[in-house]
Amino acid sequence: MFSKERFIESINRIIKSDYGKTLDEATEYEKYNVISKAIMEMIIDNWSKTEEEYSKVKRAYYLSAEYLMGRALGNNLLNLGFYDEVKEVLGQLNIDLNKIEEVEEDAGLGNGGLGRLAACFLDSSATMNIPLTGYGIRYRYGIFKQKFENGFQVEEADNWLKYGDPWSIRRDEDSVIVEFADGKVKAVPYDTPILGFKTKNINKLRLWQAEPIKEFDFKLFNEQEYDEAVKEKNRAEDISRVLYPNDSKREGKILRLKQQYFFVSASLQDLISKFKRKFGNKFDLFPKYHAIQLNDTHPVVAIPELMRILVDEEGIEWERAWEITVNTFAYTNHTILSEALEKWDVRLYKEILPRIFEIIEDIDIRFIIELKEKGYSISKLKKMRIISDNMIHMAWLAIHGTHTTNGVAELHTNILKHQELKDWYELYPERFQNKTNGITPRRWIALCNKELTELISELLGTKDWIRDLSRLKELEKYKDDENILNRFMQIKENKKKELAEYIRKVEDIQINPNSIFDIQIKRLHEYKRQLLNAFHILDLYFRLKENPNMDIVPRTFIFGAKAAPGYYRAKGIIKYINEIAKLINNDPEVNDKIKVVFVQNYRVSYAEKLFPAADVSEQISTAGKEASGTGNMKFMLNGTPTLGTYDGANVEIVAEAGSENNFIFGARVEEIERIKDTYDPKEYYEKVPGLKRVVDTLIDGTFDDGGTGMFEELYNSLLKGASWHKPDNYFLLRDFDDYRKAQQEIDKAYRDRLSWAKKCWINMANSGKFSSDRTILDYAREIWDVKPVVIK
C-alpha cells in the first residue's frame, strides 16, 4: 500500500542526507534522484523476497549485449499502481511529476529493436511472475546522442549517468575477474530492479562494469609518468565505456570481442559460484536450475566459455560437459541478412581468447566427425563448418551448441527453416521454433497513451487488460459505434497536438496537427528503406510543383533514426532526407500541403510521444529482410494502420486485423526469390513515370552533399551495385510505383473520417497477440521449462 506520510518523510530525509538541502532549494535532477530513491526504499523488501523465492526453483537468464530500457521513473510508478497518488503528493509539494520525468536521461544501452525487445521481455517476465534475470554490460555511455549539422548526422557522447543512477545498486561482493590473453579486468555488477505490473514480483537486471585490478600505479605517478600510471585503468574501463564501438579498424574489433567475452564470462562465473554454494559439484543439475537464452549471436561465446569452466576448472569430461552446455542454452536468431550473421577472424580469437579458440576448434572437429558419420558430402561439410575460411561462424556455433533455436516471427522462422538455415533445420528439425516478438502494453500504451488507456478501461470495465492484452478483442463490437469512434479519434487528435507542440519546442519546426502524420521511426538501414520513403516524398513534391491545385490531404512526413557511426551509406540517406526537408519546408507553394521532419536523437522517450500520434505506420522493409519488427506492433496498439510490405510481423498484423484495414504493397518473398538473379532496376528507372527524375536528384545537382560523394554513391548502389552486392539490392525501384499507389489509397481512405477511425479501431482491438507477456510465457513454457512464482 502507498503511504503518503512515509513517502514525504523519505523524500525529506534523502534530500537532506544526499544534498544537504531542502526540497525548495533542490534542482530538478536532484528532485528526480530523491523521488527515485524514495521509491527504491518502498520496493527493497519485495525485491529481496523475490530473490529468496526464485533461488528455490529453475530460473531463466537472458544474455544480451543491449537493453534499451528508456526512462524508469514513470514506468515504475505505473507498474506499482502509485502513479496518480505520487503525482498528487508531489503536486502538494509544488513538484510537477511530468517535469521531473523529462529530467531523467534515457538508459540508452541499446541500438534498436534487439535492445528494446530485451527491455520488454524483462517487464513482461516480472509482470507474468516468471523468474528471469537479465545480464549485460553497464555502458558508461549509451549508443550516442545524435544531432544534425548542415543535415549531416553528428554523434556526441550519450552521458546517461551524468546525474547518477538512483535505480541501480553496486554489488562489490559479487565482483569477478575476467581474463584475456593480454591481461585481467574486474567485472563489478550493478543490479536494477524490474517491477512487474500489479504484482509483488521484482526481477533483476544485472549489468557488469569493467574496472582495473590495480586502480593506479603510484610508483609511475611519482616518477611523473602520469599517463602510464592510469593506463591499466583506462584500458579496463574501455570495455564498458561505449555500446558498439566503431569496429572498422582492428583495435575496434578487439574491443568488441572483449566486450562480448567480458559480460558472458562474468555472468557464467556468477551463476556457477551461486550454483556451487548450493549444490557443490553436482553439475548434472545445472540445466535443471538454469535456462540461458542467448539474445542473438553477441553472447554466443558463452557456449565455449561454459565448456572451459566445466572442463578446465571443474574437471568434467568433454562429453558430459557438452551435454550440460547444450541442455542449458537456447538461441534467438534476429536476422535473415547473411551479412549480419556474426563471424570472427580466428586470428583475433587466438590473440585475445586462445583457450576459447582451442575449445571452438574442438567443437568444430567433433561436429565434422558427427556429420561425416551421417554421410554428409564434402561440399556440405564445408558449408556447415563452425570454423571455415579462417572465420568462426557464431550462428553455426549457436545452433550446434544449444537445444533450441527460435525465429521471431512466423515468416522469419519459415525463411530460416526453408532457406537461410535449411541445412541446419534438416540436421536438427526438433530444435527449431517460432516465437513471434511482442511489446509491453505498460510502456507502449498505459504509460504513453493514458487517455486511450482510460477509454479502453472504461469500455472493458477493468484495467486487467493491461496484463492480458487478448481482452482488447472484446472491443471489436464498438467498431461501428460512432460515439466511441469519435472519442477515439479525439484522443488521436490531442496526441497529435501534443507531438506538434513538442516538435516545435525541441526541433523548432511548426507542423500542422490537422495533417496526416506519416511516421517512419526505426534504425537507419538500407533494407528498412527510408530511401524509398524519401523518393516518394520528392516525387509528390515534383507533382505538386507541376500541379499546385492537386487535391491531397495535407501530409507531415516524420522520420526518426540513428545511423551507426561507421555506416557511410546510412549517413548519406540521413543527409539526403534532410536536404529534401530543407527544399520542401522552405517552399511556400507546397509547405501548407507537405512537410518533412527528421527528429533528432530518436530514442525511447521520444518514441513514447510519436507512436500515439501517428496516422500511418511506415513498415516498408524489403520483403524477407525484417525478422519481425516491434515498432509495427507499437503503432498498431495505439490504433495506427500499417503501410507496409508483406514482411516480418506485418504478415501476422494483417492476419489479425485484416488486409482491408492496412495498406500492403510491394514484391513478396516468393517473387523476390524468383527474380533476384535476373532483376534489372534500370527497367523500372526508365519506365516508371517520375522515378528517374527523383533518382537523378542524387547526381544532378538538385541537392548538395557537401562534396562528400555520398549521393553519387547512393545512386551507384541503386543502378550499378557494388563489389559486395548487386544493383538495387533491396528492390526500391521495383516497389516504388506500388508504394506510391498505396500512399494514394491512404490519401483517399483518410478523407472518410468514420471509415478511417474504424480501420484504426480494428487494428487496436486486434493487437492482443503482440504482447510480450504472451511471448515470454511461450518462451517459459516451450523453451525454458520455467514456471511462474508468485510472491505473496
Looking at residue 129, its pLDDT comes to 98
Judged against a pLDDT cut of 90, whether residue 246 lies above it is answered with no
Given 298, 523, 609, 759, which residue is catalytic? 523
Beta bridge partners of 406: 332, 433
Judged against a pLDDT cut of 90, whether residue 372 lies above it is answered with yes
Give yes or no: 403 in active site. no
Looking at residue 226, its pLDDT comes to 65
- In tens, the pLDDT along 562-616 reads 999 989 999 999 999 999 999 999 999 998 999 999 999 999 999 999 999 999 9
Residue 421 corresponds to which cell in the numbers above? 538455415
- In tens, the pLDDT along 194-223 reads 999 999 999 999 999 999 998 777 687 777
Given 31, 290, 435, 528, which residue is catalytic? 528
Looking at residue 681, its pLDDT comes to 98
- Domain locations in the chain as residue ranges: 460-772
311-334 mean pLDDT: 98
173-196 mean pLDDT: 98
526-548 mean pLDDT: 98
Given 256, 417, 435, 634, which residue is catalytic? 634
Looking at residue 223, its pLDDT comes to 79
Looking at residue 381, its pLDDT comes to 95
**Max intra-chain CA distance, the chain:** 82
Give yes or no: 335 in active site. no
Ramachandran region of residue 171, left (φ > 0), alpha (ψ -120 to 50) or beta? beta
Phi, psi (rounded to 5 degrees) for 165? -135, 95
3-state secondary structure 202-248: EEEEEEEEEECCCCCCHHHHHCCCHHHHCHHHHHHHHCCCECCCCCC
- CA-atom Rg of the chain in angstroms: 27
Percent residues over pLDDT 70 in the chain: 99
- In tens, the pLDDT along 504-515 reads 999 999 999 999
C-beta separation of 613 from 501 below 8 A:
no
Phi, psi (rounded to 5 degrees) for 241? -80, -45
Q: Give the H or E element holding residue 559.
A: strand 555-560
Judged against a pLDDT cut of 80, whether residue 404 lies above it is answered with yes
Give yes or no: 405 in active site. no
Give yes or no: 522 in active site. yes
413-433 mean pLDDT: 96
The number of beta carbons lying within 10 Å of the beta carbon of residue 283 is 18
Across all residues in the chain, what is the average pLDDT?
96
Given 522, 575, 625, 740, which residue is catalytic? 522
Phi, psi (rounded to 5 degrees) for 250? -60, -45
- In tens, the pLDDT along 467-490 reads 999 999 999 999 999 999 999 999
- In tens, the pLDDT along 90-110 reads 999 999 999 999 999 999 899
Task: Write the CB contacts of 88 (distance below 8 Å, at least 6 apart in sequence).
Answer: none
Question: Under CATH, domain 460-772 is a member of which superfamily?
Answer: Glycogen Phosphorylase B; (3.40.50.2000)
Judged against a pLDDT cut of 70, whether residue 229 lies above it is answered with no
129-140 mean pLDDT: 98
Task: Write the CB contacts of 78 (distance below 8 Å, at least 6 apart in sequence).
Answer: 197, 442, 446, 447
Model confidence, pTM: 0.97
Looking at residue 222, its pLDDT comes to 77
Percent residues over pLDDT 90 in the chain: 94
Judged against a pLDDT cut of 80, whether residue 243 lies above it is answered with yes
Give yes or no: 418 in active site. no
Given 308, 334, 492, 571, which residue is catalytic? 334
Give yes or no: 334 in active site. yes
Amino acid (one-letter) located at 330: A
